[in-house]
Chain A
Amino acid sequence: MNNPSPIIAARGLCKSVANGAQSLVILQDIGLEVMPGEAVAIVGASGSGKSTLLGLLAGLDVPSAGTVTLAGENLFALDEDGRAALRARLLGFVFQSFQLLPALNALENVMLPLELSGAVHAAAAAEAMLRRVGLGERLRHYPKTLSGGEQQRVALARAFVMQPQLLLADEPTGNLDAVTGADVINRLFELNAERGTTLILVTHDDVLAQRCSRVIRLAGGKTV
């Protein structure tokens, strides 16, 4: 049996920003590998560098040093558009602040990534996905008329409708109360299991982290 290769791997990842004359180190020499199908939680206190790490893993930002390999491709050897194309093919996102487009209704929000990739039957796929997260009755509702939990479920549908290989979630329950948060997380793990998606989840919630197969802890920009 062949050893499967990691879907994403980071080596010697550093990120620092200029702060006046000084340089502020946010991440320092991070190395990690995530295998296909794994569910990994990145935990740490506020300011530990969790979101920065997630941004680098997704190629949303560039590191000061180090590499990230996504599905065998060196992310930072690609230009911005190359990374975007790779994201479109492989990644899904769920954010703490949902990031739904206020001018679009639930269905249109879920259709958007499909439309951007030129997919046909975007509406049918999006509708099926919304029904899967229990929002079949709320297709035409706009974000401002949906509760926080419902908005995050729309975001889940938007992430999974593209059938990503890797789902990156940034504090997905951060803006939700405990009960709603638990419901969203249950659905997230269900979909993850159902579709064999790899999950990297940033959270400061230890209980949530324990539901993942592996936990990576960050403190002061380093893994501990």
Chain B
Amino acid sequence: MTRLALTMLWRDWRAGELRVLAIALVIAVVSVTSVGFFADRLQQALTREAHQLLGGDVVLVSDHPWQQATRDAVIASGLKLTESMSFTSMARTASEAQLVAVKAVADGYPLRGKLRIAPAPGVADAITDALPATGEVWVDERMAGVFAVAVGDRLELGNSTFKVGAILTLEPDRGASFFNFAPRLMMRVDDVAATGLVQTGSRVTYHLLAAGERVDAEAFEKAMAAKLGRGETLQSLTHARPEIRSTLDRAGQFVSLAALLAVILAAVAIALGAQYYIKRHLDGYAVMRCLGATQAGLLSLLLREFALLGVLASLLGAAGGYAGQTVIVWMIGDLIKVQLPAPTLLPALQGCAVGIVLLLGFALPPLLQLKNVPALRVLRRELGPARQSSLLAYGVGLAAFAGLVVWQAGELQLGLIVFGGFCAAFALFGAVAWGALRVLGRSSGASGLTWRFGLANLGRRAGANTVQVLALAIGLTTILLLTFTRGDLLATWQSKIPPDAPNRFIVNIQPDQRVLLAEFFTANGLQQPEIYPMVRGRYVALNGKAVSGEGFEERARRMVEREFNLSYMETLPPHNALTAGRGFETGDLARGGLSVEDGIARTLGWKLGDMLTWQVAGENFSAPIVGIRKLDWDSMRVNFFVISTPSLLEKAATSFITSFHLPPDKTGVTQQLSRRFPNLTLVDMSALLKQAQDLVGQLVRAVQFIFLFAVGSGVLVLYAALLATRDERVREAAVMRALGASRRQVLASQRAEFAVLGLLAGLLAAVGATAIGWLIAQKVFQFPYQINHWVWLIGPLLGLACLGVNLRAAARAVLNTPPLAALRDA
């Protein structure tokens, strides 16, 4: 029987009757597996190299130096110990100054994993057990590129000069962060003090790395976890860097869900393909029944044939997915700093499962009708299988798809929201298209014969035509979104930043440097910048009740646990807009008051009048919230979440921060500034912004690539919908021609029908793209969306063009079939 099923499969394939089904399956599986393989490699890199990613078995991280007692506790637990410090700073050569991510390490680093270095960029690297020697730094390839330095060259960092000792190609605990903006510089911990870079207000992260026997490490982890203070965290195999995980998981989730758009369109194509298959096989199955095939026999044959199809198409799709993931890796490889291991077979199996689920859900229920074809159909062609309710036929499929979405989303709620979103969008587009087609179908009074005939067909074939419009509209929405809308969003985002907006930040300014800095600005013909004080403090209590990170969601928890940058001033900065309460008034200045940003107030549950307690350098102070401000983060100015009246903070250890606009013709100033004030950290916002845009660009490209599958599925749906109505069109044309209509007239009536379908789909797509663009502008970028009126023209034009291709295919079938043959077949 399986042999016969294989024979039938080959025959059906040869006849072109399985093409839509098979291609749809392949596209769906390619779409899912290419993302799956990629995610799998990333996941493996994260799990298998978990030790290396941490650099030790247990890593203690703090925003303040660790006490000697903690070091002693590590040793006492029988574990090996080493430590490192991380901070950003300016590095300089004779001609360049650039922000770098410094990691200062001590002997023994890393306890797990190995460093790899090379003698020059692009040269084969090798594992090393050494560390940079005293007075030496290692730089990564990116930094070597930016500074144009080679091994042996000199680099200045703070007050010290270092020799470049090697090109660092891999450090195990660099992690797979999407946000490794600054290039890496590695040095010895012992060399840090001489640079003078670690001062008040410097943001330094201190790591203690411990490794040893598993039992010892676990015991230490358990004991230490209970003793952690504020600003201290513990990372281990069981608590692997949550921020990396969650960033990658979210990115992976997003791309997986994008992949599902192709899957759902493929499901529609599969359902249409199955309907087409049924239509073409009703006679054949009736003949087989007549020739003595039993229902059970036919069922078994059908199941085997389609199981074979499912397996073959899925395998092909999985192979395509493997190729697809290499494209994704190539597109966003820059973002991932770890070497990706080869993928496992799991995504291929998952992809095959998706293929089989689609087939079982969307093709098999309607196909099973075939076994019920009455044998009497061989004598009376009007007889068919009993009509199945659509809900029954596709209920299984929809349930299966919902399961698939939840699985890909990784959580029930998000999965159901996305599934609901898909269904709502389909239902809305479908309802509008169906309604429009019915109305247009009736409004044929004034037009000529061909238009009347074409328009009437819109209404008569409302079902099949709705599917065509829906598929095309979704495909076009994707295209418009990725071209016009995306371009508009980025352009609006960029144009929001005024040309003279600050493009450099200076942090770490010490009190005695303010005057000198002002002089430096004057000497260099730069406008005097506004310099703000900055004090680091912890949020400890709300209305007298101590707060801890527990009970907050992840982002809020991190905010609560880390130190805030607080500022103080008498008058709030002019670019801050009050949304509630007041600015600082005389009474507030005397009693003390706080002004907070509205977003953080929402996140942390602060209200006007709430009493917040802060701890600065071990001392607490409390003050009420007297005003809530809205900040324009895109203004590129210095912004603070929390500003206090001066009396509360001015005695605390303060560093200063400023931002200024550096004209493009004065970029040499940064070098001078860095040389004159080696401790200052100069952040090039335009470079960061560009990196952020590049990052977004790369992600968008990856998503665009995934959406290509959706467009492919969309085209397939169009083709399948056309096939579904082709026989009917051929017969109609035959009748028209038998009654004396010219080829021109036949074509014209078809053209009228397709023109309306294309225009309708294009209009819907323009609405869809505009709505989504508006949503993204409002919710993600938070600015008013300017509707691009071109979409109203381009959308329908694209729709016409797509259906023009369809028209050609339809016309060929219609006009190349002799009327007599068409009528006889009927």
Contacts from A to B (Cβ < 8 Å): 51, 54-55, 58, 60-61, 80-81, 84-89, 91, 93, 95, 97, 99, 101-104, 108, 112-113, 115-118, 162, 170
A88 with B15: in contact, given A55-B376, A101-B284 (CB under 8 Å)?
A: no
Q: How far is the CA of A101 from the CA of B293 in the complex (A)?
A: 15
B379: chain A residues within 8 A (beta carbon): 51, 54-55, 60, 95, 170
A95: chain B residues within 8 A (beta carbon): 378-379
A-contacting residues, B360-413, CB 8 Å: 374-376, 378-381
Question: Is B159 positioned at the interface, with any CB of A under 8 Å from its CB?
Answer: no
B11 touches A115 (CB 8 A): no
Q: How far is the CA of A38 from the CA of B280 in the complex (A)?
A: 37
User: Number of B interface residues, CB 8 Å?
Assistant: 30
A-contacting residues, B753-804, CB 8 Å: none
| Residue among B1, B11, B293, B376 making CB contact with A88, cutoff 8 Å | B293
A-contacting residues, B289-337, CB 8 Å: 289-297
A88: chain B residues within 8 A (beta carbon): 291-293
A170: chain B residues within 8 A (beta carbon): 379
* Residue in chain A with minimal CB distance to B372: A80
Question: Is B288 positioned at the interface, with any CB of A under 8 Å from its CB?
Answer: yes
A84 touches B374 (CB 8 A): no
A103 touches B374 (CB 8 A): no
* Residue in chain A with minimal CB distance to B296: A81
- B1-26: CB near A (< 8 Å → 1, else 0) gives 10010010001101101000000000
A99 touches B292 (CB 8 A): no
A84 with B11: in contact, given A60-B290, A101-B283 (CB under 8 Å)?
A: no
Q: How far is the CA of A104 from the CA of B7 in the complex (A)?
A: 11
Q: How far is the CA of A84 from the CA of B292 in the complex (A)?
A: 4
Contacts from B to A (Cβ < 8 Å): 1, 4, 7, 11-12, 14-15, 17, 280, 283-284, 286-297, 374-376, 378-381
| Residue among B1, B4, B7, B287 making CB contact with A101, cutoff 8 Å | B287
A84: chain B residues within 8 A (beta carbon): 289, 292-295, 375
What distance in Å separates the Cβ of B653 from its nearest Cβ neighbour in chain A? 85
B294 touches A60 (CB 8 A): no
A99 touches B378 (CB 8 A): yes
| Residue among B7, B12, B14, B17 making CB contact with A115, cutoff 8 Å | B7
* Residue in chain A with minimal CB distance to B289: A84
Q: How far is the CA of A170 from the CA of B381 in the complex (A)?
A: 14
What distance in Å separates the Cβ of B177 from its nearest Cβ neighbour in chain A? 56
| Residue among B11, B286, B289, B291 making CB contact with A104, cutoff 8 Å | B11
A87 touches B15 (CB 8 A): no
What distance in Å separates the Cβ of A139 from its nearest Cβ neighbour in chain B? 15
A116 with B378: in contact, given A88-B293, A103-B15 (CB under 8 Å)?
A: no
* Residue in chain B with minimal CB distance to A96: B379
Of the candidates B14, B15, B284, the one having the most CB atoms from chain A within 10 angstroms of its own CB is B284
Q: How far is the CA of A108 from the CA of B17 in the complex (A)?
A: 17
B14: chain A residues within 8 A (beta carbon): 103
Known: A84-B375, A86-B292, A102-B280. 11 other contacts (CB 8 A): A51-B379, A51-B380, A54-B379, A58-B375, A60-B376, A88-B293, A95-B379, A103-B284, A112-B291, A115-B4, A162-B291
* Residue in chain A with minimal CB distance to B284: A101
What distance in Å separates the Cβ of A169 from its nearest Cβ neighbour in chain B? 12
Q: How far is the CA of A101 from the CA of B290 in the complex (A)?
A: 13
| Residue among B290, B297, B376 making CB contact with A87, cutoff 8 Å | B290
A60 touches B378 (CB 8 A): yes
* Residue in chain A with minimal CB distance to B377: A60
What distance in Å separates the Cβ of A125 from its nearest Cβ neighbour in chain B? 15
B296: chain A residues within 8 A (beta carbon): 81
A99 touches B283 (CB 8 A): yes
A103 touches B17 (CB 8 A): yes
Q: How far is the CA of A2 from the CA of B783 in the complex (A)?
A: 101
